[in-house]
Structure 1
Amino acid sequence: MPYPKGHKIKVRSKIVESAAQAFRANGIHDVSVPFIMKGAGLTHGGFYSHFDNKEQLVAEACRYAVSDTLALLQEAVDQEKQAPKINLVIDYYLSTHHRDRTEIGCIIPALSVEIARSSEEIRQIFTQELERMITFISNLAGIDLSKGRALFSSMVGSLVLARSVNDPELSDSLLSAGKQHAKALVNA
C-alpha cells in the first residue's frame, strides 16, 4: 500500500526539525544520524532516502532554525503595542529563557564556532541565514545594515558568554550588560 500524498515531505520535515533541535543543543559533530532519526521517531535506515549526507541535513537544519527563530520573534513583535519593538527582541534574545533553552534557541550562537570549521557549502548557507537575521534586526530597529551587524554581533556575543560561564551571577550580569549595550547601540 503506497504512502499518502505528501508523506515523504512530512517525514523529511520531521527529520530537519529533529536535527535543528539536536544541533542547537549539542552541536553538529556530537550528534549522530541515528540520534536525529530517533528524535524524529524514525529508524536511521531511512535517512538516505531523504538526504545525500549529514552535510545536506546541516544546511537544511540551519535554514529551518533561523526561520523558526524569525517566526518566533516576528510573532512576539506583532503582539507588542509599544515602540520601539526592537527592545522586545533584545530582551527576549538576551533572556535567561533563551540562554537556558538552547534546543529551541537561535542556532547562530549555538553553531558559529563549528560552522567556521565546516565546508564552504555549509558556511555559505550559514552566511545567508546570518544576513537574513541581521536584516530582520536592522529593519526592526530602523538602522542601517552596518549598525545592525554590530548590534546582532553584540547580542550573539553576550549570549555565547552567558552560556559559557559556570557562575550564575556572572551569566545573568552578562545578559543584563548585553541588553543595556544593545539598546544603547540602537539609540546611538
Structure 2
Amino acid sequence: MSDKKTKTRERILDAASAALISRGPGQPSVNEIMGAAGLTVGGFYAHFDSKEALMLEAFRHLLKQRQSAVAQIDDQLPGHERRALLAAFYLSRKHRDGSDKACPLPSTVGEMSHLPESFQEVLAEHLEMMVAQLSSSPEDADKVLADVALMVGGLTLARALGDGELSDRVLRAAKSAVI
C-alpha cells in the first residue's frame, strides 16, 4: 500500500473511531465518516469492503489502544492495585467528558446483539486480554471481570446522565466499589 493510501486509510479510521465513540457503530453513515475525514464517499471502497468492515476495524483499533494504556500500569503491583489505578482514570470526569481516545464500550455494548458476531468475538478477545493484564492469579479472573463490568456500566450510566451531580455520584460509587 502506498504511503498516501495508508495515510488516507488512517484518516478514515480515525474519523470512524471518533464516530464510534460518540454514536456507536450503527449510527454514523459512510458519508458522515468520509466527510469527517475530509474525503468524498467515492473513495471509500478503495480502502474498506463495507461500513461494517470499517467499524469493526475501528472497534478493534480502539480496544487495542485501551489494552496498550492498561499495559502501562506497573505489572509488579498486585492486581487489585492495578485495577484501582485503572478505575481512578476510567471512572473520572475527564474520561467521562472527553472524546479523544475514549473507551468505545459504552457506545457499543448496547448494540452488540444487532451487530455481526465478529464484534462479539473482538469484545471477548478484549475481555480476555484485560483479565490477563489485571489478574494477579487465575483465581482473580472473575473479580477482574466483575470490576471491568462495573467500570463499563458506571461509565455508561455517567455518560448517559451528562455532567451533573448524579453522574459524578455514579462515577464515585463505581470507583469506590472497584477500589
TM-score of the two chains, using structure 2 as the length reference: 0.85
Distance 1:94 1:137 in 2: 16
Quick one: higher RCO (CA 8 Å, sep 6+), 1 or 2?
Answer: 2
Aligned to 1:149: 145
Question: Once the two structures are superposed, what CA deviation does each residue of 1:70-119 show, in whole Å capped at 9, x if it has no partner?
Answer: 333444x36xx988343221100000011112453111122100122211
Query: 1:29-178, aligned counterparts within 5 Å?
Result: 29-75=26-72, 77=73, 84-138=81-135, 144-166=140-162, 168-178=164-174
Q: Which runs of 5+ in 2 are unaligned?
A: none
Root-mean-square deviation (Å): 2.6
Q: Is the 8 A contact 1:16 1:57 kept in 2?
A: yes
Give the number of equivalent residue pairs. Answer: 177
Distance 1:88 1:142 in 2: 20
Distance 1:87 1:157 in 2: 16
Q: CA deviation at 1:142?
A: 8.8
| Closer/same/farther in 2, CA of residues 120 and 142 from structure 1, 3 Å limit | closer
Matched-pair identity in %: 35
Q: Which runs of 5+ in 1 are unaligned?
A: 184-188
Distance 1:70 1:156 in 2: 14
